Structures are given as C-alpha cells and as structure tokens.
Amino acid sequence: MDHFRNIGLIGRPGNLAVADTLSHVHQFLTQRGLHVIFDEDTAALLGNTAVQCCSRAAMGEACDLVIVVGGDGSMLHAARELVRFGTPVLGINRGRLGFLTDVAPDQLDEKLGAVLNGDYAEDTRFLLAAQVRRGNERGTELLALNDIILHTGKTVHMIEFELYVEGQFVYRLRSDGLIVTTPTGSTAYALSGGGPILHPRLDAIGLVPMHPHTLSSRPIVVDGSSEIKILLLSDIPPVVSADGQSGQSLAKGDWLYVRKHPFKLRLLHPPGHDFYEACRTKLGWHSHLIPD
C-alpha cells in the first residue's frame, strides 16, 4: 500500500532534463493510482493542460508529499513556500551538487517506490528568519533554509558592523559581509567562505565573516536558539539576502535581526542515505580506507 496518496510535483523551469524527469515521475505515480498535482509553473513547463495544478502556496495544504525535481536551488525555493504546512518534501537531483535533492535520476523508480511504500528516513531542517529594523519600522521578513547574507552587493568596498548574540556584544568588524548559516547551508556558500561543516542534526547557527579586515577573525558556531543582531555602521549601503534571492538594502544605523523560524522543513531521504557519503561524493573527500 502506498504511504502517500496526494503527490505534488515541482520542477525547475527552463530545463529539458527536468521536464523529462517530471514526465517520468508523473507516469510512475499515475500507474500506481496516485493523485498527482502540479504547481502552476511546472505544469506550464511541461505544456500539459490536462493535469491538475495549483499555486505553490496552496500545494502544502493539498498534498501529503511534494516531490521537487531540480537542484538544491529548486528545493530552497520550495522549502520557503511549504515549511509552514509541515508537508514532507523529497528531492530528485537534476542540478550539480544535490545535497538536498538526493535521489539520482537513474535510481528513480527504485528509490521513489521505496519512499511511497513508507521506507524512508526523515529529518527536520530549521530555517532562519531575518528582518531589517529602522527605528520603529520593520521590513519584510526574509526566510532562508541555507543562509542569510549581509554583503556589499555590487560594490568592492568593505562594510563595518557590530555583531551581538543573545544581547551580548561579540565584535566590531570591517569585512565584505557576514554569512549567517544553518547546518543545511554550511555545505553551501558558507563552506566556500571558510566556514565549518555542521551536521544537519545540529541545533546550531554558523557566523562566517566574508574576507574580514583582520587575521584574527574566525567563524563562530552558536546555539540554534540564539537571537543574532547586527548593527550597520557603514555609510556604504549593503544588502541582506536570503538563500541568494534579491535582497533588501540597509542604511547606516539599521539593525538586522536573525533568528530561527518557528516552523521546520520535513525532508525525506530514500533508503541508504548517508550524510558523510554525500560529503565524500559531492565534495571530493578521500574515499579509500587506510590499511592497518
């Protein structure tokens, strides 16, 4: 018996490989008698007007499971839309690294069939919520599964800011910016900035300076429940971005508040999923055992 009945499908637009995989998944699911719902953009990608579709915002209420076909970017976008509904999400990799979309296309039938039969591992990933505060004004809340990044935008100037964690002053720094990362995002942009890899089960937040103007500045890992505040001191207006999306501009004297979002993403993995194996495969770690 299938463990899920109403399945949502989301795919990255403009990619023929994604379209082919979506068509295969759709056929696989319908052959099992399951009810498939496409998000509107994905239905347009396939050019199929005969399928049932709904907005991505409504998919969380309509589906027992959502399958995302694409790369990690596709999963990040879906996560921000679906997290408040608690709908489990499964990723099929049609991107490059695929830390979040861990079903390979050549194993699709086997792995997807196992998940549909209830043979899967589930873990929860927290998101970060960020908000710019200017006096009594509060900006739109930004959500990120990977990271919140304070950066200089297209300029080459450094910015200056003060960092506070749980109300305690940490440091004043001049740098290209600061990456505030979840464990999920620690293998993304924060990794290229010299940050630590955090196991997905850790309840922790990483703070990674971007090209700091001091040799003593190092990444810091803090408790996942911490409230992080950043006071902007620079006249050059930086930008805050969530998961690489278009950001919001800040001005001198603005505060950036970052905290854990109250809802968590339910991420499903097929049988045999191994975080360290993913690191070995995708980051090129040495995979041979050393003989005794």
What would the pLDDT profile of 24-56 be if each residue is shown by its tens digit?
Answer: 999 999 999 999 999 888 887 777 666 888 888
Select 6-120+270-283's CATH number: 3.40.50.10330, 3.10.129.10, 3.40.630.10, 3.90.79.10.
3.40.50.10330
- Indicate if 72 belongs to the active site: yes
- pLDDT band at 289; cut points 50, 70, 90: low
Domain(s) labelled CATH 2.60.200.30 in the chain stretch across 127-262
**What residues does CATH 3.40.50.10330 cover in the chain?**
6-120+270-283
User: Residues 123-164: pLDDT tens digits?
Assistant: 999 999 999 999 999 989 999 999 999 998 877 789 999 999
- Residue 291, pLDDT > 60, answer no
pLDDT of residue 124: 96
Active-site residue, from 20, 39, 41, 72: 72
Per-residue model confidence (pLDDT) at position 49: 62
* Cβ neighbours around 70 below 10 Å, total: 28
Instruction: Name the pLDDT band for 222 (thresholds 50, 70, 90).
Output: very high
CATH class of the domain defined by 127-262: mainly beta
For residue 101 the two structure tokens come to 């979309």
